[in-house]
Chain A
C-alpha cells in the first residue's frame, strides 16, 4: 500500500511535485519546495491514523499544494477524502473533465498555478482565432477581384495593430472568465496559486492539505524550441509572443509548417508581412492528407507572399541586434551540410509543442516520461516503468501527447470521469476532428489516404476514395468562395468511414458530420439518407457521402431503422 501526494509549487505556470506524504515526512521537510516528490512510500506507514488515505496538502496562499490519492485497495469511505477528483491544470482538458465530473456527482477541485484556461484559451486556439478572424476580413477586403465579383466597392483596407492585438487579448480574457464562471457555478473548487501569493504565507510550508480519490494530470504543453535557436521574444518568437501581436514584421520566417505555422502565415500575410517557411520534411504541411496539402499549398501558399525551404533544419537562429537582421542558418535535413543563410526581420518558431511535465516528480511513482510525455494506456491511466498502471492516476491532453488538441484533451478528461464513475469508456481518437483555421479552412478526421491504404494492406480490405468540390455548391458559389475540396476515404465493402478531409469555406464547422458518424459508427449507406438543408455548405458532405460507392453486399443490411411515419 502506498499513497501518492502532489505538491504544486509556486513557479510561474503550474509546476507540481508528486510526493509520498506521510504527514510526518511532510512536516519534517517543509522548507524545500522541491523536496517532495511522488514516490513509493519508503517506510510503509501502515496507517495507524491515516492508513487508508493519502492527502492533498493545499496551501491557502496557493504557494504549495499537495494532492494525494488513495491506494487502489484502501476501501476507505469517500468521506475520508476532501475531493473525489482533483485535476491538475485548468486548461480546456481539465475544464472539460471538471464539468463532466460535477455532472456525474463527483466533488471536484481543479488546481492551476498560472491562469485558468491554459494554453488554448490564453496562448493558443482562442487568441489565434481572433487574429484569424481579422486576417479573414482583411483578406476579403483586400481582394479587389473578389469584391468586384460581388459588386462591392471598398476603399483601401487598413488596420490598427494595437486594435487587433486588443481584440485577441479581450477574447482570451472573456473566454477565460466564462470558463472560470462555468466551473464556479457548478461548484468546482478552483485552487489557484502563483508566485504573487507567496507573501501571504511561510515559504515552502504546506499549510493546507487536500485529499482526493482520483487525480488527473492535465498540465499541458509549452512551445517547443529546438536547440540553437535563441528566442528573444521580440524578433525571434514563439506562438506565445506572436499572439500578442506586438509587431507586424515586414518579413517573417516561420519555422515549421504545421497547424500553428500555417495559421500564422495566414495572419501575417493578411496584415502585410511576407513569409518564408522553413520545413524539415520534404514537403510543406506534412501532417495533412497529401492531396489536401497540395491543394492547400496551391491556394494558401503559392499565390501569397510566401516562399519556403523544405528538407532543411534551422540549426541556428540569432535575433536581430547590433543593426543586423535575424539570421537563420539552414542545413540540409539529410546530409547535414550547410545549405543557406536567411536574413529576415523576425522568426516565429512553430516547431510543435513540448509537454509541460517537468517537476511533477513522476519518477517517485516509478513513472518515466518519454520526451516529457506521460505514458498512458488507452484509458489515460498512467503507466509506470514496469508497464504497470499507477492506480487512480490519469493523464490527459498535451501532457500525454496522444493527440495534442484542446478538444481531444477535453474528450480524454470526460472519458476518465466516465471510468472513475464506474462506466468503462475508451475514447476513439480516430473520431476526433482537427482543424486549421486558415482562409479557407482545413479540417480532417480519421485516417489520411496513405494511412488508410497502409492499414488496408495490413488488414486486407479495399479502400475507396470519393471527392466533391466546393465549386458545385450553391452556397459556396453565392459567397464566391468555390475553391475547395472534400475527400472521403472509406471501405466499399462495409461502408465504414475511415477518414474525411475538407479544404474549403467553413471546413472546420463542416467536419463534425463526419466525425460524429465515425464516433457513432454510422455507415455511409445510412448517413447518405440524412437530409441537409438547401442551400448550405453541408451539402458538400451530403454529396460526398452520396458519391461513395458502397458494395451491394453491405447495402443488403439496409438502413438501420425501418421507416416510421410520424
Chain B
C-alpha cells in the first residue's frame, strides 16, 4: 500500500522540483531579452533618427535633484579634496557641484498631447545592464501606441523605479541611469527614496562622502535597506493560479504585462503569453450569477462603473478596456460637448472607379484617392480644415493632414496622411501603407496619429451605403464614406442611365462650420471625384 502511494506521488514532486531549476528559467529569461532586443533593432532602423528626437526629451538632460540635495550637505566637507580649478575650466561652477555623480533619471515620456500617464509594457534592459546611447531601454504604452524609449546617454541601468505593468504620470522618474559602476549604489539609494518616499524631493540616504574613496559596493550586495524597498515598485503582482500556470508553461512571469485589477497578472495573461486559449475551466467558473449589485469586495475592480447600473446579465463577463480603448471611450464622451450637424451628398464615382482601375497596379489604394480628393477640396475650403479650440475663435490649420480611421486589433486608430494636398498620389499611397504597418505593430509615432486636421472614415468596403461619424475632438469635420453602388439616375434631359453613386456624409462643428460652408465643400469634393484627372497631377 505504501509503495503504491509513494509512486503516485513521486513524479508529481519531481516535476515540481524540475521547474524550480534556476538555470532553465535564467536561460529563458535571457532569450526573451534577446528577443526584445532584436525586435527593437528591426523596428528602429527606418526611424531611428526620429526615435532619438522623440526620446531625447524624455531623458533628463540636466543632472538631477539628487545631486543638488547632495551638494548642500556633504559636498562642502569634501571640497578640499577636489581639484576645483581643473573642473572649473571645463564647466560652470554650478555644474561642478551637480555633475560630480552622473546619475540621471529616465522620465516617463509624453508620447502624445493627450497622454497624462503611461504604462510600462516591458523593460528591454534589466538592472545592471550596460546601455549605450541610442539603445532601447523600455517600452511604454500610451493611449495610442507602444513606444520604445531610448537612452540618450551611455551608462548603466542602475535601478528600475516603475516596474513592468505599472503606470506612472508623464515626467515621473521610471528608472535611474548611472554613468559608472561606482554610482550604482547611490543610484539605487536614490531609486529607493524615489519609490519609498511619496515626495520625490525627499533626500536619499546620505552616501559616504567621496564616492571615489569608498570602494564600489559589488552589485550583488546593495545597501541594507535597498533589497526590500528598491524591489517594491518593480514587484510583479501575480495571482496564485497565474503563478502556477507560469511555472507549468514555463512563462517568465516578469515578462508578462498584467491586465487584472491593480495591474496584477491574471491566469488569462499567462495563458495569452503562453499562446493558449483560455481553459474551459475558467469559462465554467465565469458563470457566476450575482443577483445583487456588485459585491463590496468587487467594487474596486469595477472602478468607475456607476452603482446605478443594472446587474450584469447572467453569464456575462467583464473585460476591462485596453489603454487604446480607454482613450477612444474618453474621446467619444468628450465629443458630446461639441454641437455637430451633418450634411450628406451623393457623388458619382464612375470616373473615379475607372481611374482606380488604372492606378491600382501602381499601388494606389482607394483610401489614398479619397484622401487626396478630400485634401484638394479642403485646400479650396480652409474653413472646413479649421477647428474650434476654445469656443471663441477659429483655428486655421496651415497643413492639410487627413486622418484616416482604421480598425485595428479591437481598437481604433487614425494614422495621419500629412500634407495630403501636396504629396502626389503615389507617395501618398506608399505613405499610407507604411502607416498601416506601423499601426499594426503599435509603432506609430505620436505625430503620426494625432496631427490630423480632417478625418476620413470609410465603411464602403463592407457594403455600408451611408453612415454617421462622430466628430473627434479638436477637428472641424469628419467625412463618412459609404459604398459606391450602381444607381439609376435621370439626367436633365430625362434620359435614364445607371451610374455608380456613393453617399458621403460629413459631420461638422457648427460653431465654426455652417451648412452652406459644408455644402460648398461637398460640391467641390464631388466635382473633384467626378473629374478625377486632377488627382494624378
Closest A residue to B240 by CB, please name it.
A307
- Within 135-184 of A, Cβ neighbours of B (below 8 Å) are at 142, 144, 156-163
Query: Cβ of A157 and Cβ of B298 under 8 Å apart?
Result: no
Q: With A305-B244, A341-B232 in contact, do A250 and B301 touch (Cβ < 8 Å)?
A: yes
- B94 beta carbon closer than 8 Å to chain A: no
- B5 beta carbon closer than 8 Å to chain A: yes
User: What are the residues of chain B within 8 A of A248 when measuring CB–CB?
Assistant: 288, 295, 297
- B228 beta carbon closer than 8 Å to chain A: yes
- The stretch of A48-56, A119-127, A468-476 in contact with B is A468-476
- A290 beta carbon closer than 8 Å to chain B: no
- Within 269-297 of B, Cβ neighbours of A (below 8 Å) are at 280-281, 283-292, 295-297
- A338 beta carbon closer than 8 Å to chain B: yes
Query: Cβ of A156 and Cβ of B287 under 8 Å apart?
Result: yes
User: What are the residues of chain B within 8 A of A320 when measuring CB–CB?
Assistant: 297, 300
Query: Cβ of B289 and Cβ of A159 under 8 Å apart?
Result: yes
Q: With A251-B240, A341-B232 in contact, do A162 and B281 touch (Cβ < 8 Å)?
A: no
Closest A residue to B2 by CB, please name it.
A467
Query: Cβ of A162 and Cβ of B288 under 8 Å apart?
Result: no
User: What are the residues of chain A within 8 A of B291 when measuring CB–CB?
Assistant: 160-163
CB distance from B303 to the nearest CB of A (A): 8
Query: Cβ of A161 and Cβ of B289 under 8 Å apart?
Result: yes
User: What are the residues of chain B within 8 A of A341 when measuring CB–CB?
Assistant: 232, 235
User: What are the residues of chain A within 8 A of B241 when measuring CB–CB?
Assistant: 274, 305
Query: Cβ of B297 and Cβ of A247 under 8 Å apart?
Result: yes
User: What are the residues of chain A within 8 A of B303 when measuring CB–CB?
Assistant: 323
Query: Cβ of A157 and Cβ of B12 under 8 Å apart?
Result: no
- B308 beta carbon closer than 8 Å to chain A: no
Closest A residue to B295 by CB, please name it.
A247
CA–CA, A553 to B9, complex, Å? 37
CA–CA, A248 to B4, complex, Å? 38
CA–CA, A274 to B285, complex, Å? 11
Category for how many chain A residues contact B: 35 or more
Query: Cβ of A343 and Cβ of B237 under 8 Å apart?
Result: yes
- B438 beta carbon closer than 8 Å to chain A: no
CA–CA, A144 to B280, complex, Å? 9
User: What are the residues of chain B within 8 A of A324 when measuring CB–CB?
Assistant: 262, 300
- B320 beta carbon closer than 8 Å to chain A: no
Q: Which listed residue, A272, A323, A472, A485, touches B285 by the CB 8 Å rule?
A: A272
User: What are the residues of chain B within 8 A of A276 when measuring CB–CB?
Assistant: 240
What 0/1 pattern do residues 311 to 326 of A give for CB contact below 8 A with B? 0000000001001110
Query: Cβ of A250 and Cβ of B300 under 8 Å apart?
Result: no
A interface SS class: mixed
Query: Cβ of B5 and Cβ of A338 under 8 Å apart?
Result: no
- Within 225-262 of B, Cβ neighbours of A (below 8 Å) are at 228, 232, 235, 237, 239-241, 243-244, 260-262
- A82 beta carbon closer than 8 Å to chain B: no
Q: With A467-B2, A471-B4, A472-B1 in contact, do A234 and B289 touch (Cβ < 8 Å)?
A: no
User: What are the residues of chain A within 8 A of B4 when measuring CB–CB?
Assistant: 469, 471
Query: Cβ of A161 and Cβ of B288 under 8 Å apart?
Result: yes
User: What are the residues of chain B within 8 A of A159 when measuring CB–CB?
Assistant: 288-289
- Within 208-258 of A, Cβ neighbours of B (below 8 Å) are at 234-235, 246-251
Closest B residue to A320 by CB, please name it.
B300
Query: Cβ of B283 and Cβ of A161 under 8 Å apart?
Result: no
- B95 beta carbon closer than 8 Å to chain A: no
CA–CA, A404 to B284, complex, Å? 38
Q: With A162-B292, A275-B240 in contact, do A249 and B298 touch (Cβ < 8 Å)?
A: yes
- A449 beta carbon closer than 8 Å to chain B: no
CB distance from B260 to the nearest CB of A (A): 8
- A11 beta carbon closer than 8 Å to chain B: no
User: What are the residues of chain A within 8 A of B289 when measuring CB–CB?
Assistant: 158-161
- B264 beta carbon closer than 8 Å to chain A: yes
Category for how many chain B residues contact A: 35 or more
Q: With A159-B289, A274-B239, A485-B5 in contact, do A235 and B297 touch (Cβ < 8 Å)?
A: yes
Query: Cβ of A346 and Cβ of B283 under 8 Å apart?
Result: no
CA–CA, A343 to B240, complex, Å? 12
Closest B residue to A339 by CB, please name it.
B228
- A345 beta carbon closer than 8 Å to chain B: yes
User: What are the residues of chain A within 8 A of B267 when measuring CB–CB?
Assistant: 274, 305
Closest A residue to B315 by CB, please name it.
A158
CB distance from B310 to the nearest CB of A (A): 16
User: What are the residues of chain A within 8 A of B280 when measuring CB–CB?
Assistant: 144
Query: Cβ of A467 and Cβ of B1 under 8 Å apart?
Result: yes
CA–CA, A161 to B293, complex, Å? 11
CB distance from A434 to the nearest CB of B (A): 23
Query: Cβ of B301 and Cβ of A345 under 8 Å apart?
Result: yes
Query: Cβ of B285 and Cβ of A247 under 8 Å apart?
Result: no
User: What are the residues of chain B within 8 A of A455 when measuring CB–CB?
Assistant: none
CB distance from B323 to the nearest CB of A (A): 18
- Within 152-182 of B, Cβ neighbours of A (below 8 Å) are at none
CB distance from A496 to the nearest CB of B (A): 22
Q: Which listed residue, B12, B287, B300, touches A158 by the CB 8 Å rule?
A: B287
CA–CA, A250 to B261, complex, Å? 10
Closest A residue to B289 by CB, please name it.
A160
Q: Which listed residue, A144, A158, A234, A338, touches B228 by the CB 8 Å rule?
A: A338
CA–CA, A251 to B260, complex, Å? 11
User: What are the residues of chain B within 8 A of A160 when measuring CB–CB?
Assistant: 289-291
User: What are the residues of chain B within 8 A of A343 when measuring CB–CB?
Assistant: 237, 262, 264
- A532 beta carbon closer than 8 Å to chain B: no
Closest A residue to B300 by CB, please name it.
A320
User: What are the residues of chain A within 8 A of B301 when measuring CB–CB?
Assistant: 250, 345
- A306 beta carbon closer than 8 Å to chain B: yes
CA–CA, A307 to B247, complex, Å? 12
Most chain A CB inside 10 Å of its own CB: which residue of B1, B240, B243: B240
Query: Cβ of A156 and Cβ of B296 under 8 Å apart?
Result: no
Query: Cβ of A250 and Cβ of B298 under 8 Å apart?
Result: yes
Query: Cβ of B296 and Cβ of A247 under 8 Å apart?
Result: yes
CB distance from A444 to the nearest CB of B (A): 18
- A298 beta carbon closer than 8 Å to chain B: yes
Closest B residue to A162 by CB, please name it.
B291
CA–CA, A144 to B284, complex, Å? 10
Query: Cβ of A161 and Cβ of B300 under 8 Å apart?
Result: no
List 4 tightest A-B contacts by C-beta distance, closest first.
A247-B295, A158-B287, A307-B240, A305-B241
CB<8 Å pairs between A and B, sample of 21? A156-B283, A157-B284, A157-B287, A160-B291, A162-B290, A246-B295, A246-B296, A247-B295, A249-B297, A250-B239, A250-B298, A251-B240, A271-B288, A272-B286, A298-B12, A302-B16, A305-B267, A325-B261, A343-B264, A468-B1, A469-B1
Residues of A within 8 A of B (CB): 142, 144, 156-163, 234-235, 246-251, 271-272, 274-276, 298, 302, 305-307, 320, 323-325, 338-339, 341, 343, 345-346, 467-469, 471-472, 485, 547
Residues of B within 8 A of A (CB): 1-2, 4-5, 9, 12, 16, 228, 232, 235, 237, 239-241, 243-244, 260-262, 264, 267, 280-281, 283-292, 295-298, 300-301, 303, 314-315
Beyond the given pairs A156-B287, A161-B291, A161-B295, 17 more chain A to chain B contacts, judged by CB atoms under 8 angstroms and listed by A's residue number, are A157-B284, A158-B287, A158-B288, A159-B288, A160-B290, A247-B295, A250-B260, A251-B264, A271-B288, A272-B286, A274-B241, A274-B267, A307-B244, A325-B262, A341-B232, A343-B264, A345-B297
